[in-house]
Structure 1
């Protein structure tokens, strides 16, 4: 069985920890706890290429004040940038984070537009969204609360890195 490191990155409060909890444990909590540093969870996934153990790194929220730590990406096979559809700024921050990632590695990445169970608060044109999404392997509209697309997103990512 192969073991692969995956990093979840994004602004503070976008739901990175909640997505992981939903995926690994099948639970959601309304309680918000700020992640400090890194927390690692594991989950085995069956892919067409065989079993993959995902080592999922939940990396603290990245904002203008704490910056991006490229060292967290060492040894990673893929990443997911999480944004919050109720905060347009989080998508812009995701764009900045992706630019910084691309400066240090060329591993595949997914975009998770999280909190799809809540009303969308941004008003991007279709062209603007397509431009933002073009740098990713795929975009998933997820909800850590309802579980929408969470399993699909991680399974898709496991399949990409297993090949």
Structure 2
């Protein structure tokens, strides 16, 4: 873990998807390596951070969770503002959560940067015997829509680390390809400067310049 003054970039990543698919547990598994069997739906927005070393850069990842707002359709553009990555999560045992992926994707692109990195995540793959969505079907949907894809289990940790790190790596690659230097807000707004970034978000120190 790095302290606040030792990172090169801050990347905001949001978790979206229907209530009950395991977004909060993916968040706590990745940031704290914890799983809460009795996690209750809370109202509001929660986020946790984790600092990761990647290609000689120290990157602080802010992971935001809707924390129950999705069932009230009360998610506003403020939740998406500044996000450069998203994990669109569904439950592999509940087809209705997968069917809503298209709607979530539309909402995401209506409010967020169209160049952001998005991964479709089929969670709860520890419940293989209850599966209703074939991995091949979800993968095909992801490819059609230009999304990354992975199946995870927040319960037993399967692919949780890999999902977040793959998204982070893809974001970093996009930022690096634009020759980001200190003070550039491309680190948080991949399509260019549409609004001012905070000081923390401007912490690009040129670590990924060739």
| TM-score between both structures, scaled by the size of structure 1 | 0.89
Quote the RMSD (CA, aligned, Å): 1.9
Secondary structure of the 1:159 match is helix
Higher relative contact order (CA 8 A, sep 6+): 1
Q: Is the 8 A contact 1:49 1:159 kept in 2?
A: no
Query: What is the Cα deviation at residue 124 of structure 1?
Result: 5.2
Deviations 1:60-97 (A, max 9, x none): 3424x525423311111111111001101001112210
Query: What is the Cα deviation at residue 37 of structure 1?
Result: 1.8
Secondary structure of the 2:61 match is strand
Q: 139-148 or 48-57, which moves further after superposition?
A: 48-57
Query: What is the Cα deviation at residue 3 of structure 1?
Result: 0.6
Q: 2:148 aligns with which of 105, 126, 138?
A: 138
Q: Is the 8 A contact 2:139 2:149 kept in 1?
A: no
Q: Is the 8 A contact 1:47 1:155 kept in 2?
A: no
Structure 2: gaps spanning 5 or more residues: 1-7, 174-210
Change in Cα spacing, 1:136 to 1:18, as seen in structure 2 (3 Å) is farther
Higher CA-based Rg: 2
Q: Please name the residue that 1:162 is paired with.
A: 172
The 5 A counterparts of 1:1-163 are: 1-48=8-55, 50-61=57-68, 62-63=70-71, 65-66=72-73, 68-104=75-111, 105-106=113-114, 107-119=116-128, 120-123=130-133, 126=136, 128-134=137-143, 135-163=145-173
- Aligned residue pairs total 161
Change in Cα spacing, 1:148 to 1:130, as seen in structure 2 (3 Å) is closer
Distance 2:164 2:26 in 1: 10
More strand by share: 1
Structure 1: gaps spanning 5 or more residues: none
| TM-score between both structures, scaled by the size of structure 2 | 0.70
Deviations 1:37-73 (A, max 9, x none): 210100011112511100110113424x525423311
